Amino acid sequence: MTDGVRGSGPIHPDDKKMYEQEYKQGANLFQKALRQYQKSDNTFQQAEFKDVMHRALGVMNDSAQGLIRKDLEAKNQQIQKDFDTFQQFPEDPDTIKQLNKDLDDARHSLGG
């Protein structure tokens, strides 16, 4: 992802744009999988949707690190916490609402 050591200098504008785009795509994919999870009553499908959410969060974490944005890393930690709660209580509407809110907040912090 990055050629140098993390924090070794400013990010090239093209790299910044790429990381921001990856982050937004990861957040969008996470939310889409969450919506599909909610619609499904098939436990095997739901497990696949959870896997997609987990992988999307990984992309978001990598992108935040590439952007050298501690604020995004903190938002991702909150999203991870929400996701952990969601996995324990997948039918709780407040948990789902909070997860979506945190995903929206993180995406909007990038200006989109």
Query: What is the tens place of the pLDDT at every residue in 26-79?
Result: 999 999 999 999 999 999 999 999 999 999 999 999 999 999 888 999 999 999
Q: For residue 6, is pLDDT > 80?
A: no
The answer, yes or no, to whether residue 110 has pLDDT greater than 80, is yes
- pLDDT for the residue 98: 95
Q: Is 12 exposed, middle or buried (0-12, 13-18, 19+ CB in 10 A)?
A: exposed
Q: How far apart are the first and last CA of the chain?
A: 22
Task: Report residue 111's pLDDT band, with 50, 70 and 90 as the boundaries.
Answer: confident
pLDDT digits (tens, 9 = 90+) for 99-108: 999 999 999 9
